[in-house]
Structure 1
Amino acid sequence: MDTSRSPIELRGSDELSIRVGALAPLSRPGWTEAGQHLVAGLDLAVREVNGAGGILGRPLELIVRDTAADPQKAAAAVDELAELGVAALAGEYHSVVARAVAARADTLRLPFLCSSAVLDALTEQPTDWVARLPPAQSHGWRIYADFLRRAGHRRIAVAIQPSVYWAAGTRILRDHLALCGGTVVELDTSMLALAAVCDELFASRATMLLLLIGDPDAAASVVRAVRSDARLAGIQIGAPAGQPEFAAWAASLGRDGLAIPFLRYFPERLTPLGARVEAALRERLAAAPSFVAFEGYDTIMVLADVLRSQREEGRESDALWSRVAVEGTRGTITFSRVPGVSVWQWAWPPVQVVDRDPDPDQRGAFRTLHAG
């Protein structure tokens, strides 16, 4: 390969379309509804870019691959997509999977815009080939810790599945809450049966249980067990990673799934573009779009700008993201280097702590509890 030229120039140069590889969890144990919303946003934006003339007259083509929340499967998909000549990669919801994608993208010198995963260290070393839309975990989860502190919670329990992502989240919460005398107790769901989780939770004297569990069925099982245990009636449940955002959560758990605060990367008011996109996504999904769908849409709009500018200006890798200024659905998107974050970062998207209102008259509508 002629390494004097950018991979964006080389890939797909003999084809009519410009291909973008999309990665998303579309089968279990992945959070499939998140994957579906992500792909809906990506696809809508591709159609709109093409309707406006494509990239300098060439249409975008979206090639979707299911990661199933599996890092090895995702890395293999990146290799396959590279062989197919994609100009860039987009997507992924699960942080440990996005980390595997970012590592392969960096090795292959293939631009990757991470749509919806927040782990601070997406790559081992700083890279110019990877950028990210959602806030870094350390930023969003500190806002969630502020919410817990202001709500009066000083003793927190976490029901955790072993992973780099959940361990990082626990460390952020513990460090931030320690500043006000708070403590965090870990309950390893890989080692404890549900009854034992409830026993340990009761013994911990915690006032809040946080679900640090990536498997949708496992997370719902913990909620049901805690809600049905009379000893735990006074304990609140939270899910900082955002599981209650999705309609399937509410459908599965009913009233048990209400009043569970989570992080949502959404502004108080969408931009005019966001309002239009919301209507289009609602029609596509036959349901209210999650913030993940908006992340998907914004991802393609950013990549379209990057691809268009690179083909006009011949940008080098270190300039792929630095000159981006795109009006997205939730604000103007620009990228910068943030201390402690190994990739180019939008600093910062809007962050809210919300839950689904338990008032029967509100029918589970979202209510904002805290913003940062």
Structure 2
Amino acid sequence: MSGMVTEARPPGRDDTDTHVRIGALLPLSRPGWSEAGRHLLAGMELAVREVNDAGGIAGRALELVVRDTAADPDRAAAAVDELARLGAAALAGEYHSVVARAVASRADALGLPFLCSSAVLDALTEQRARWIARLPPAQSHGWRIYADFLLAAGHRRVAVAAQPSLYWASGARILRDRLAERGGTLVDLGLREPAPASVCDALVEQDASALLLLVGHPEPAVSIVRSVRRDPRLAEILIGAPAGQPEFTEWATSLGADGAAVPFLRYLPERLGPLGARVRTALRERLAEAPSFVAFEGYDTVTVLADVLRAHGVDRAPAAETWARVSVEGTRGRIRFSRAPGTGVWQWSGAPVQIVDRDPADPARFRVLRTG
């Protein structure tokens, strides 16, 4: 069987005897981070094709029903309702944490399994959720590692340019607490809408040695980086982007050499195993560029859900009880879930964490600065 990625058929048409549907929720248009959505979808599509080439789910083709969230929580919640009506056996995806939170809340209320591919906000649900699991590490885990990296590099006074958002506010709080534990200080530049010139002036005033961009991409992130790089007063400052903006080609295309040496978090192991290496080659061909860690997250999401559906069928009730029994070889290691305090969801606790940047000598190449 070949892979299938389709728009949903009208509700009146019942073809559930021949297809098993997974609803895929992705940011494929602005203001969503569409490049991340494209990579996430590419990984899912590849995994669907491989599942179907191997016989599908008990002989039935796996079908991906794609919905664009455009980074809109309300639109995403409405899509969950639609996919439930269309008979989706499970949900997958989402990159933006605030959107994933809306998806998780609605999916849990409907009793629809949701495996979150790429969103890290700790409190993905308000209360302990039976139906929700997540692949990437919780934000508190990765961003504490990032704070430790800054301290080890000698940065004790760190500034943040942050836009209003639950996700950015959560990240800033994690960084502030971790730095304070070890004698460091996080300074909020206090710019509600960070303009490049204002950021540069505030940095000089605060005498910080590092600036973290907790802002949207491409704007205002790209303009801020350009302004800081060109300000002679800030020649020695480190620019960081813990949320991962420099991972994608759009960053390198927009900024060139200015986008190098900007450390960020990504979720890949230091070395890929045989499965990861094979998938990397296939994803590169599909994307016509190097796959980001988000593409691997998409592949692993569908791989896990296919294993769950093969083992327990497409009935939702048993599927919700299987997270604790999952043991699947993914592209980045063996995936198992456990209950993580403070998140409310089933969590892959073994997800790899790296801090990397683009090499100033060759911005197309990544340097691993720390693993955790």
TM-score of the aligned structures, taking structure 2 as reference length = 0.93
How far residue 214 of structure 1 moved from its aligned partner, in angstroms, is: 2.8
How far residue 224 of structure 1 moved from its aligned partner, in angstroms, is: 1.3
Q: Is the 8 A contact 2:276 2:332 kept in 1?
A: yes
Cross-structure match for 2:45: 43
| Secondary structure of the corresponding residue to residue 364 of structure 1 | strand
Counterpart pick for 1:219 among 201, 218, 221: 221
Counterparts of 1:143 and 1:112 in 2: how far apart (Å)? 27
Cross-structure match for 1:308: 310
Q: Is the 8 A contact 2:309 2:319 kept in 1?
A: no
How far residue 260 of structure 1 moved from its aligned partner, in angstroms, is: 0.2
TM-score of the aligned structures, taking structure 1 as reference length = 0.93
Q: Is the 8 A contact 1:354 1:366 kept in 2?
A: yes
Q: Is the 8 A contact 2:195 2:224 kept in 1?
A: no
Counterpart pick for 2:143 among 141, 144, 149: 141
Q: C-alpha offsets along residues 301-360 of structure 1, whole Å, 9 cap, x if unaligned?
A: 00001111112998635522110000000000000001112100000211010000001x
Cross-structure match for 2:205: 203
Counterparts of 2:311 and 2:321 in 1: how far apart (Å)? 10
Counterparts of 2:228 and 2:306 in 1: how far apart (Å)? 46
How far residue 188 of structure 1 moved from its aligned partner, in angstroms, is: 4.3
Cross-structure match for 1:28: 30
How far residue 200 of structure 1 moved from its aligned partner, in angstroms, is: 0.9
Cross-structure match for 1:280: 282
Counterparts of 1:88 and 1:180 in 2: how far apart (Å)? 43
Counterparts of 1:65 and 1:253 in 2: how far apart (Å)? 31
How far residue 72 of structure 1 moved from its aligned partner, in angstroms, is: 1.2
Counterparts of 2:32 and 2:292 in 1: how far apart (Å)? 16
Counterparts of 2:294 and 2:314 in 1: how far apart (Å)? 30
Distance 1:307 1:317, change over 3 A: closer
How far residue 13 of structure 1 moved from its aligned partner, in angstroms, is: 8.1
Matches within 5 A, 1:88-237: 88-237=90-239
Distance 1:105 1:233, change over 3 A: same
Q: Is the 8 A contact 1:27 1:66 kept in 2?
A: yes
How far residue 274 of structure 1 moved from its aligned partner, in angstroms, is: 0.5
Q: How many residues align?
A: 359
Letter in 2 for 1:351: V
Q: Does residue 321 in structure 1 map to residue 318 in structure 2?
A: no
Counterparts of 2:36 and 2:137 in 1: how far apart (Å)? 17
Unaligned runs of 5+ in 1: 1-11
Counterparts of 1:66 and 1:276 in 2: how far apart (Å)? 28
Counterparts of 2:186 and 2:323 in 1: how far apart (Å)? 38
Counterparts of 1:140 and 1:242 in 2: how far apart (Å)? 11
Cross-structure match for 1:76: 78
Counterpart pick for 2:355 among 318, 330, 353: 353
How far residue 216 of structure 1 moved from its aligned partner, in angstroms, is: 2.3
How far residue 364 of structure 1 moved from its aligned partner, in angstroms, is: 3.1
Cross-structure match for 1:65: 67
Distance 1:21 1:146, change over 3 A: same
How far residue 15 of structure 1 moved from its aligned partner, in angstroms, is: 3.5
Cross-structure match for 1:371: 371
| Secondary structure of the corresponding residue to residue 50 of structure 1 | helix
Q: C-alpha offsets along residues 100-141 of structure 1, whole Å, 9 cap, x if unaligned?
A: 110110111100000000001000001110000000001111
How far residue 175 of structure 1 moved from its aligned partner, in angstroms, is: 0.6
Unaligned runs of 5+ in 2: 1-13
Q: Is the 8 A contact 1:46 1:62 kept in 2?
A: yes
Q: Is the 8 A contact 1:30 1:215 kept in 2?
A: no
Counterparts of 1:76 and 1:355 in 2: how far apart (Å)? 37
How far residue 187 of structure 1 moved from its aligned partner, in angstroms, is: 2.5
Q: Is the 8 A contact 1:31 1:69 kept in 2?
A: yes
Counterparts of 1:177 and 1:37 in 2: how far apart (Å)? 33
Q: Is the 8 A contact 1:271 1:328 kept in 2?
A: no
Counterparts of 1:13 and 1:342 in 2: how far apart (Å)? 35
Letter in 1 for 2:247: E
Q: Does residue 244 in structure 1 map to residue 227 in structure 2?
A: no
Letter in 2 for 1:245: E
Cross-structure match for 1:334: 336
Q: Is the 8 A contact 1:141 1:169 kept in 2?
A: yes
